[in-house]
Amino acid sequence: MDELARAAGAGLPHAVVVNECREVLEEMRELIRRGGALPDPAEVLRARLDALLHPSLRKVINATGVILHTNLGRAPLPALAPAAGYSNLEYDLEAGRRGRRDVHTANLLARLLGVHSIVVNNGAAAVFLALHELAAGGQVIVSRGELIEIGDGFRIPDIMARSGARLVEVGTTNRTRLEDYRRAITPDTRLLMRVHPSNFRVSGFTGRPSLEELVLLGRENRIPVYEDLGSGCMLDLSRYGIQEPTAQASLQAGVDLISFSGDKMLGGPQAGILAGREDLIGRLRRNPMFRALRVDKLVIGAMETTLRLLLSGREDELPVLRMIRLSREALLERARRFLQAEAPRFSLVEGFSLLGGGSTPEQVIPSPLLAVEGDVVEIERRLRKGAPPVIARIESDRLLIDLRTVDEADDAELLQALQVAASSR
């Protein structure tokens, strides 16, 4: 133990080093029991201590072509300057008294959407809070074809059950009519809910009422209409091949309350945004669960930056929107710099980039890709374990680099990483 601790060198308190020594020695004993080959305990210890001294959350270069890569943090954030030290998070500087933390985002969302809003910690939390406040103990009518799973095993029906709302399914998987909703309404109905299928598509013989029809039905029966939009698109991206409804369009159709994610097509941090009628937002804010689900000052700062860029028309400073709007010509110009490198060898192939992150299924963006020559499995492994890690994709036995999801400022670093990975022995 003493020899191992001395071999560790300085950098951490003695008690921490000793504890890691015990862990390493126990690992060595277990290897001996199994008859395995023993690595150098000092090297194992140094690796463990080094891991403690450096952040495990690291920058990676995303060369997969998946813009909203769930495993890589979904939306890459714009340049941020978080306020160090104290801040006016919940202090009204004008009035000199306590304020509300959501004012920093609510003012910007009001100008973008024209309605009141609050922000919670993710999209699932937004759905839970809406149902818990507006429908607990009552019924929520939802089309059977919209009872989706939103990822990692989380399902809309399960969230509804936890909220205390009772689910009433109407229609069939592929077709739901307005009359299905009408017949299901009872004195216990609290909400008519619409869930946008942002992570799947049902095609063929399909149908469902328009939002305007659902809104009219709700008003006839004095029942609010709530739509979970999922991806949170705020710009018309059809000219770039992306067909996704906007939050503004839902509100213009008369929907009483909408929710969507902050870290998908909005291009900001993980958050769930609820926006709509002032009285409904007021109820959500007063719900005790709102405090449990609220966001902290770092998320508020990142969201404020994101919304301000949208409001000021500086969409290209949001990486997600810049990547979607990148032209083929711009990508080709960058790809040529890689093709001119002596090593590794590249070839240019046609392919596609994806939105990902549970958004715009079956919609792709044509992109020129770089195919890396060599042992693709080994090069991919070396890239992934490099500094910084580079995440690429293997497709049809080819290692592909999609520059759409690589910040142009990282091109030189990416090329160097590729050269190291292709030449390592």
- Predicted pLDDT at 151: 60
pLDDT (tens digit, 9 = 90+) per residue, 112-140? Answer: 999 999 999 999 999 999 999 999 999 99
Task: Look at residue 197 in the predicted model and tell me its pLDDT.
Answer: 77
* Interstrand relation of 61-62 and 390-391 (parallel, antiparallel or unpaired): parallel
Q: What is the mean pLDDT of the chain?
A: 91
CATH 3.40.640.10 fits 91-315, yes or no: yes
pLDDT of 152 above 80 = no
Q: For a pLDDT cut of 70, what percent of the chain falls above it?
A: 95
Handedness of CA 311, 312, 315, 318 (dihedral sign): negative
Average of per-residue pLDDT across 193-211:
77
- Banded model confidence at residue 150, pLDDT cuts 50, 70, 90: low
For helices 278-286 and 123-135, give the axis angle rounded to 10 degrees: 100
Out of 3.90.1150.180, 3.40.50.970, 3.40.50.720, 3.40.50.2300, the CATH code matching 61-73+320-423 is 3.90.1150.180
Q: What is the mean pLDDT of residues 271-298?
A: 96
CA-to-CA separations, 217 to 36, 207, 225, in angstroms, rounded: 70, 17, 9
**Residue ranges of the chain that CATH labels 3.40.640.10:** 91-315
pLDDT at 155: 74
Instruction: Scan for tokens 């029991």, then name that residue.
Output: 33
The per-residue DSSP string of 229-275 comes to EES---S--GGGT-----HHHHHHTT-SEEEEESSSTT-SSS-EEEE
Q: Is the separation of the CB atoms in 234 and 268 below 8 Å?
A: no
Contact assessment for residue 226 and residue 258, using Cβ atoms and an 8 Å cutoff: yes
Residues 170-186, mean pLDDT to the nearest whole number: 92
Q: How far is CA 66 from CA 28, 284, 358, in A?
A: 41, 34, 11
* pLDDT at position 10 over 70: no
Q: Which two tokens stand for residue 152?
A: 């990692």
Question: pLDDT at position 204, please?
Answer: 65
Q: What's the CA gap between 281 and 277, in Å, rounded?
A: 6
Q: Taking CA 262 as the corner, what is the angle to CA 258 and CA 264, rounded to the nearest 5 degrees?
A: 105
What pTM does this model have? 0.89
